[in-house]
A = this chain, B = another copy of it.
């Protein structure tokens, strides 16, 4: 595994726990974690339960005892590592966004397909029980024809103008801001739930254009944040969308939604019913059916915690909620099963590419000030 910060911790936890709660075709062995800072990665290996560590991902990728590489390094490193891992015949599981841009993403997909390795992108939210239930309801036709899809991804960690200029705020490392980080999730969920995008138009803002440069994270020097640097990604991006099935979509991702911490939500209206969901309350799904008796119709708040719900039965009895990290356990479970003889797996690199297409179509629409077809990019 490459990367040991936020995502590194979430992924490590998933590998550690998946075998305890799920029956796998094969055991997961946590061979090696990789990071550039030796002290940091050594500590992480110990803490998270990896057998060994590497400071050069090339070495890790070359190891014979490793079947699969999990990439959760910053976005600008995804492509090079993935291509090397694929070349070495490893299965590859990669954090989103798949790459810094669409052409890189396509190159990665091509390489993986040609090499015949298994590939996946970590759109972890697909694998929460509430989202699985939403998918099932829609596939069974119980919402009817879909008319509206509205999504938000609301965070507020950048509202403070003195919040430092982290790597996520530099275009050359992160590729994008709220758009690539947050809208990527919303786009993937929309594709998963209601289908492909037709055309989009958006706008974006960088509300705070300069931020303090953080002191060196290794703590050696004391430049203390008095200098400022330019923020080169968006703080917020919103867009309108039209889906190929005729539905209208509204999307907004922002890191300036004061008071909203992790508001990844969707609300879907169809001709027969509606669904809504909020990641901060991820154990509930709200569903409305027009077919209910008129005086008894209302949004039902369904606790997706009993064993009638996918994955929920592997955890605790009804009403004993699960948390954010459980989505990673589920996606890792599915990917491991896929690697070891299971049927198909999505989201694959193809889904990573498709998501990137929409992201870039939005970027292009912002540049042009007019609608852009997703097939144009």
Chain A residues within CB distance 8 Å of chain B: 6, 9-10, 12-13, 16-17, 19-20, 47-49, 133, 137, 143, 145, 147-148, 150, 152, 154-157, 159, 161, 201-203, 205, 207, 236, 238-240, 242, 246, 248, 250, 252, 254, 256-263, 269-274, 279-284, 286-288, 290, 292, 294-306, 308-309, 315-326, 368-371
Contacts and interface: CB of A to CB of B under 8 A. Distances in A.
A256 to B, nearest CB: 5
A242 B237 CA distance: 12
Given A17-B17, A248-B236, A257-B148, A298 B302 contact: yes
B207 A147 contact: yes
Given A48-B20, A302-B295, A370-B370, A325 B316 contact: yes
Contacts of A9: 20
Contacts of A13: 17, 20
A320 B9 CA distance: 13
20 contacts: A12-B20, A20-B48, A147-B205, A148-B236, A155-B319, A203-B242, A238-B248, A248-B252, A258-B274, A260-B269, A260-B274, A261-B317, A262-B318, A262-B319, A263-B319, A279-B319, A282-B321, A286-B298, A316-B325, A323-B326
A269 B287 contact: no
Listed residue (A155, A259, A290) with the most chain B CB atoms within 10 angstroms of its CB: A259
B280 A203 contact: no
